[in-house]
């Protein structure tokens, strides 16, 4: 069971907009820690997609955007393309009485219909 909660799957038709949520708590996202997003294409290593809640690394299309509010964050993908079909993971930092460290969401599989 992951500290950050993501929907197991989302889907959309080419050209559509989809969003993937990442829900945390007061010990991670709600505590002000940044949220980062990764895209993992089948059989490959994760790739940084969004860092610092809403920043895109060089080379990432502006179809991808991130936001954060309260104890949650979201990844939006507009103009859906077939090559966007992948697993997406959110990541943050958690600090509580039981310890602290990096935490990931359980991942969301995006299917392009």
Partner 1 sequence: QVQLVQSGSELKKPGASVKVSCKASGYTFTSYAMNWVRQAPGQGLEWMGWINTNTGNPTYAQGFTGRFVFSLDTSVSTAYLQISSLKAEDTAVYYCAREWGNNWFDPWGQGTLVTVSS
Positions in the binding site for partner 1 (CB under 8 A): 2, 33-34, 36, 38, 44-48, 51-52, 57, 89, 91-93, 98-99, 101-107
Question: Considering the complex, what minimum distance in angstroms separates the CB of residue 51 from partner 1?
Answer: 4
Which CB sits closer to partner 1, 80 or 93?
A: 93
Kindly write down the DSSP assignment for every residue of the chain, as one continuous string: --SBB--SEEEE-TT--EEEEEE--TTTGGGT---EEEEE-TTS--EEEEBTTTBPPTT--TTEEEEEETTEEEEEE-S--GGG-EEEEEEEEEEETTEEEEEEB--EEEEE-
Least distance (Å) between residue 26 CB and partner 1: 18
Looking at the Cβ atoms of 47 and 63, the one nearer to partner 1 is 47
Complex with partner 1: residue 10 or 15, whichever CB lies closer:
10
CB nearer to partner 1: give 16 or 55: 55
């Amino acid at each position: 069971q992951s500290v950050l909660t993501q929907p197991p799957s989302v889907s959309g038709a080419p050209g559509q907009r989809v969003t993937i949520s990442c829900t945390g708590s007061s010990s991670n996202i709600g505590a002000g820690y940044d949220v980062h997003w990764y895209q993992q294409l089948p059989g490959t290593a994760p790739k940084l997609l969004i860092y610092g809640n809403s920043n895109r690394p060089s080379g990432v299309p502006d179809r991808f955007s991130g936001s954060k509010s309260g104890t949650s964050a979201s990844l939006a993908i507009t103009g859906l393309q077939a090559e966007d079909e992948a697993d997406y993971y959110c990541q943050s930092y958690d600090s509580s009485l039981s310890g602290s460290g990096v935490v990931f969401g359980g991942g969301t599989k995006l299917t392009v219909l």
